[in-house]
Amino acid sequence: MGRYLARRLLQAVPVLLGVTIITFGMMVAAPGDPIRLLVSPEQLGYADVNVLRAELGLDRPLPLQFIAIIRDLAAGKLRSFRERRPVTEMVGEALVPTVILAALAIALAVGLSLPIALASALRPYSLIDHGVTVFSLLGISVPGFWFALVLIFSLTDRLGWLPASGIRPVGTPGYPFGEIWPHLIMPTAVLCLSIVPFLVRYARSSMLETLTQEFVLVARSKGLRESRVMLRHVLRNSLIPVVTIIGLLIPFLLSGSVIVETIFAIPGVGRLAVQGALSRDYPVVMTMTVLAAALVIVSNVLTDASYAMLDPRIRYD
């Protein structure tokens, strides 16, 4: 296992390098000038614009710009064009609310999807199973932004129960759960709805296949209680597809929850990435792209490692 993990991590180096090259190429090839988004030509003269361009290093040849960005990125010294402060500091501030939302959404989605899938698999093609299928199809089909707007209209505009924006009350230091939980309900529900239908469908299919295996029949023939058979034999041996989906969703939730964070005005990494792209903030875009790529790589490695923990028959040489 150790050699396998080390080999996978070494393979990540050229992947990350390729991601940085592609990202930098797309940034410089995109139309527009970052300087024009930072200052207005009507306010600053031509000489001042050139001075700002030199300060940001945009007057150097493209290969030198790329080398400088990679060097500062590796050292954690990249500074935002617009904010003029370290990008690592900006990402660190934005990562906290995103991690909170992602953790709550995944925990809630797993807690809901596994019992639903188990109930559906135990009674295939029954009324319960058909209801679960309809629920899954609706959950997959409903756009997340539409569900978010419905929640805001219902729970905020009409009833006034929950706040519609932000991650915490204005002026609240830190993230005390007693203060931020009203702000988490609606965005967590939207993210959870985007996860549960997929987990339910994959878990149900895996459980149906596991229920036909011989070791389940043997366990039942020994007189074991049905609850023990379900939990210790069926559920555990059906988790590999679920773990795979979760491994694919973690990078998406941590780096790609742009719609939820934009609608609910949550200062997370998804919103930060969009703002950086719109303002042509090269350091922010480069950092967020590398972070997303690293999350995908680490998530895939951890997912592969979890397979061996769930199924002793799986071994990595």
- All domains of the chain, ordered by start, with CATH? 87-310 (1.10.3720.10)
Contact 121, 213 (CB under 8 A): no
Q: In this structure, what token pair is assigned to residue 40?
A: 């207005």
Contact 199, 117 (CB under 8 A): yes
Instruction: Please determine, for residue 305, whether its predicted confidence score (pLDDT) is greater than 80.
Output: no
What integer is the mean pLDDT of 8-13?
80
pTM: 0.82
The model's pLDDT over 73-132, given as tens digits with 9 standing for 90+, comes to 888 888 888 888 888 888 888 888 888 888 898 899 989 988 888 888 888 888 888 888
Q: In this structure, what token pair is assigned to residue 215?
A: 């070791």
Q: Say how far apart CA 184 and CA 170 lie, in whole Å.
A: 15
Bigger pLDDT: 6 vs 128: 128
Q: Say how far apart CA 71 and CA 155 lie, in whole Å.
A: 48
Q: How far is CA 86 from the centre of its chain?
A: 23
pLDDT for 68: 87
Q: How confident is the model at residue 47 (pLDDT cuts 50, 70, 90)?
A: low
Q: In this structure, what token pair is assigned to residue 128?
A: 């319960």
Of residues 271, 284, 281, 287, the one with CA closest to residue 33 = 281
pLDDT for 152: 92
Identity (one letter) of the amino acid at 231? L
Q: Say how far apart CA 172 and CA 295 lie, in whole Å.
A: 30
Q: In this structure, what token pair is assigned to residue 82?
A: 């617009």
Q: Dihedral, CA atoms, 292, 75, 80, 16, nearest 10 degrees?
A: -30
